[in-house]
Structure 1
């Protein structure tokens, strides 16, 4: 029985490599994407059982796509394929319920094993990664802004300077909708619900 998947990676070489690895397996590639928004569109169009996402992509990275799916109530299997992953990205991905993490180096030997594992309903995350995540969680102190990625911290700083979403979008050459989505991910991390609450938090803690 074939299992439909989509692959998202902004490097054509990686895309073709993953397709080649899956070529003789039961995992059928329904579509490929080169950025996070394309990945969301491909998921909506093809309804794959598994989404294989690069962590770093234009527009939205793989972790942001994972968050978008979960926030929409979509529990489909998501596997992150990455060269490396920042601590904050790792914690966010685990909290969002990522099903598998495969590193690109040597990934051709592990990808099929990962897909078989996650399709069977189990997580495929190396023990060393989980141990590292536990260590990171223990080192995060009372400063909630330490949870933010560098890009998210920059967005919060701009908000603290009084910039509107439209102005921030222009600086990043992104749509206003993409900026709103990014702020919603920040709200979730920091435990706030609105832009006003975030602005007050920034003011109280002197982040800006």
Structure 2
């Protein structure tokens, strides 16, 4: 089943290029817009699975549209397309729960992979963007963990002991060990001594 999609871009050529591409690939394109206000109205009325939005648009930016969708708890997953390789925008996109971020120069090459990932509930950010910003992306296993398990990994990365983590989280050291055991299972580590600590240290740039 193809996801229902709307697209919005104030550059006619880019909008046409994307429209033609998605139609050619037989995606379920249910609407297009030339500014942020139109885009938001389309999302609110049609509630598509995915909205592909330019960041810089008249009336509302792609980020502002995404923020309004989040505040109204609309189910549409947002993908941003942009020429911007900007860490501030990237971090804001992450904060407001953007699912995809594709650079326009790679849009046609990457958009299918991005849509496929986002439709399954996974995020997709242009590898070139991540490389350019030199951002440490969390390992894939990160998505499998509960908020408490993630918090424990962050505390391990800051060199806290099991007892100290228990104090911080207001749980017993035994509960902390149980969480650690669950984490080891989820990320498929061996049960060798310190295997979790080694894994955290290898990935600690993502946790700190």
Classify the secondary structure of the residue corresponding to 1:17: helix
Extract structure 1 runs of 4+ deviating beyond 6 A: none
Quote the offset at 1:86 in angstroms.
Answer: 3.0
Q: Where do 5+ consecutive residues of structure 1 fail to align? A: 136-208
Deviations 1:81-136 (A, max 9, x none): 1111433222111100110111110211111111011101111013564473758x
Aligned residues: 135
- The equivalent residue for 1:97 is 97
Offset from partner CA, 1:143-184 (integer Å, 9 cap, x none): xxxxxxxxxxxxxxxxxxxxxxxxxxxxxxxxxxxxxxxxxx
**1:15-54, aligned counterparts within 5 Å?**
15-54=15-54
Aligned to 2:114: 114
Partner SS for 1:22: helix
Q: Distance in 2 between matches of 1:104 and 1:75?
A: 25
Report the equivalent of 1:74. 74
SS for the counterpart of 2:81 is: strand
The 8 Å contact of residues 3 and 26 in structure 1, kept in 2 or not, is answered as no
Task: Structure 2: give runs of 5+ residues left out of the alignment.
Answer: 137-208
Q: Describe the SS at the equivalent of 1:20.
A: helix
- Return the alpha-carbon distance in structure 1 between the equivalents of residues 134 and 37 of structure 2: 27
The aligned counterpart of 1:64 is 64
- Distance in 2 (alpha carbons) for counterparts of 1:48 and 1:133: 33
> Separation in 2 of the partners of 1:107 and 1:126?
9
**1:117–1:25 CA distance, 2 compared to 1 (3 A):** same
- Displacement of 1:2 in angstroms is 2.9
Between the aligned partners of 1:125 and 1:134, the Cα distance in structure 2 is: 11
Q: TM-score, normalised by structure 2?
A: 0.60
Q: Which of these two proteins has the greater Rg computed from alpha carbons?
A: 2
Matches within 5 A, 1:1-208: 1-127=1-127, 129-130=129-130, 132=133, 134=135
Q: State the alpha-carbon separation in 1 of the partners of residues 16 and 31 from structure 2.
A: 12
Task: Please name the residue that 1:185 is paired with.
Answer: none
**What secondary structure sits across from 1:106 in the alignment?**
helix
Are the aligned partners of 2:54 and 2:61 in contact in 1 as well (CA < 8 Å)?
Answer: yes
What is the CA–CA distance in structure 2 between the aligned matches of 1:13 and 1:134, rounded to whole Å?
Answer: 31
